[in-house]
Structure 1
Amino acid sequence: MRRILFSLLLGLAAGAGSLAATAPADTEIVRAVEKWRGERVGRLTAPDGWLSLIGLHFLQPGPNRVGSAADNDIVLAKGPARLGTATFAADGQITLELAAGAAATYEDAPFTKTVLRPEQGTTPGALVKFGTVSLYALERGGKMALRVKDSASPRLTGFLGIDYFPIDPRWVLAATWVPYEKARFVPYTNSRGQPDRALVPGKAVFTYQGQTYEIEPHDDGPGTRPYFVLSDTTSGTETYGAARFLYIDRPAGGPLVLDFNRMQNPPCAFTPFAACPLPAKGNRLPFPVRAGEKRYRGEEH
């Protein structure tokens, strides 16, 4: 079924380089996009989804006192006044020792002192849980941090839903995938102003209204889907200001379908506690893409 749908999309996309003519929405494409929308909202609103984020706290070398009291080094938005001390050692190891009277679990088992296993690529970091709150260690922008989530976060419980442009098969464009002989690391600045880099395995070449464009995706490694970080002339008005993401199945080469109906807001559109990549120059499209997700009504930043 997936191969049939891909062939259908590719056939439609072959003549979709212009939006000048009106085309009826193809039933299969509409169904596929609607299914994707439902799955997307499900992931976003999961108890540990992006809407559950309540903090991203960078660790200083040595001991870091953690808790909700204002005099801690890391002040949690929710949790005990004194959770404990996270010690960031010179070798990169992070040890969390609970304060007297604090209770929490690590990987679902009670503990008093433990070494935190950080997020590694697509492998999630091991969770410390207390009440509805959880935290884990990760690296962002070359620095180690604690990411904090709350399954009862106001952003999650007060989610306003996602607004979309109408599904339009004319925004399903045919492209050619050109793999690079060797994937390259490309530097970029994230939404927090921090330098970072992305692995770029190739480029997608497509034509829109008579002009040819080349866009490059980020590749986070095995088990993930490459994604394009794209802005267009609706960015900052009708759509999220920094960029939107467009995920694709991992390509081998040759024909590729770009379904702009699946353009989605980055995590930063929903929470200030995420660090998102900004688009490279070639990924800043000089035309409006009125497809996919619109600007989130609850956007705060």
Structure 2
Amino acid sequence: MIARTLVAITLAFAAVPDAAHIKAVQAWRTEHETDYRRDYVPLAGLFFLVPGPNTAGSAQSNAVVLPKRTPASIGRFVLEGQRVRFEPKAGVKVSLNKRPLDGPIDLLDDGATGGPDELTVGDVALWVHLSGERKTIRMRDPKSDVARGFAGFRWFPIEERYRVTARFIKDPAPREIQSLNQLGDLEVMTTEGVVEFTLNGETIRLRPMTTRPNRFWFIFRDGTSGKETYETARFLYADLKSDGTAVLDFNQAYNPPCAFNPFTTCPLPLPENRLTTRILAGEKAYAGH
């Protein structure tokens, strides 16, 4: 009788949500939503550059087509090898990194140290974005159809059981792997090993990408993908601790921007990161489509 009582008490305490954990996840979700609304919701164009000049402006004949409220021509982007130069049209007001631009300029892309350089025409922003090895012009417009019609975020309730401690199993040496994105371009990423943990009574392994020392980025699918959650993948970050473990909090798993915006490029999960177990945690499928 005493043993059964102790078990009942233990289970009751295990079921009680961790208030500090809930508060931390809620704060993280608020920050994430703010960042996504600023950085990804307003994306309104992705234009692949061809070698030579690529004209830009609101006229439909341009290679890079801007919103109608901007000038018909603002200049041109010139692709020469891996270099992209912007040549502004005389008399058109274009800013570079919030300062008036008065002549041609070579632009840093978003993969370069200190990049990307950002051009603005009114409230429309343009910069060089890498999709694999291809150079594109990405456009941000706060008045775009996607921005005006954005349906917001939906999350599963926060559950303690979806915060797990994983053991890091290191590879003999770091290695670069090529991963496809949704546009079919290959992106080179670095991986150093796998993590192993128990969830839903299963032993699971995931292979993270290393974005900086001791920082892991997980790109994964699970048994909810295409049903309760976004069909292609979800993302999750975790830090490697000094004891060789990492805490994976799937309550912070989130959709890539491709879930709601067609002008984005998102990597696909590796075959080994396509799980069958159902992870009913983190962000749900976008409801705006």
Does TM, scored on the shorter chain, surpass 0.5? yes
Could you tell me whether the CA contact under 8 Å between 1:178 and 1:253 is conserved in 2?
no
Cα distance 1:280–1:202, how it changes in 2: closer, same or farther (>3 A)? same
Q: Deviations over 1:147-202 (max 9, x none)?
A: 11123334334432211111100111121122333211122211112222321122
1:283 to 269, 273, 279: 273
- In structure 2, relative to structure 1, the CA distance for the partners of 1:107 and 1:191 (3 Å cut) is same
Aligned match of 1:33 in 12, 25, 28? 25
> Aligned pairs, how many?
275
Structure 1: gaps spanning 5 or more residues: 1-20
| Structure 1 residue aligned with 2:234 | 244
SS at match of 1:226: strand
| C-alpha distance in 2 between matches for 1:39 and 1:181 | 37
- Please state how far the C-alpha of 1:252 moved relative to its aligned partner: 4.5
Match of 1:269 in 2: 259
Percent identity between the aligned chains?
36
| C-alpha contact 1:177 1:255 (8 A) present in aligned 2 | yes
Of the three residues 175, 197, 200, the one matched with 1:184 is: 175
Q: Which has the larger radius of gyration?
A: 2
CA-CA distance at 1:209 after TM superposition: 3.6
Aligned pairs for 1:32-181 within 5 A: 32-46=24-38, 49-77=39-67, 79-90=70-81, 92-111=82-101, 112-120=103-111, 123-181=114-172
Distance 2:141 2:215 in 1: 26
The answer to whether the 8 Å contact 1:179/1:253 transfers is: no
Is the deviation greater in 109-118 or in 257-266?
109-118
The Cα offsets for residues 74-132 of structure 1, whole Å up to 9 and x where unpaired, read as 22345321111111113x22111112432111122222321112223574301101111
Q: TM-score, normalised by structure 1?
A: 0.85
| Bigger mean CA offset, 116-125 vs 234-243 | 116-125
Q: Determine the C-alpha separation between the residues in 1 that align with 2:56 and 2:119.
A: 12
**1:227 maps to which residue?**
217
Letter in 2 for 1:80: P
Q: Are the equivalent residues in 1 in contact too, given 2:200–2:277 (CA < 8 A)?
A: no
Letter in 2 for 1:271: N
RMSD: 2.1
Runs of 4+ in 1 over 6 A off after TM superposition: none
Q: 1:62 to 1:121 in 2, by over 3 A?
A: closer
- Alignment partner of 1:217 is 2:208: yes
Relative contact order higher in (CA < 8 Å, ≥ 6 apart) = 1
Unaligned runs of 5+ in 2: 1-12
| TM-score (normalizing by structure 2) | 0.88
SS of aligned partner of 2:258: helix
Counterpart of 2:225 in 1: which secondary structure? coil
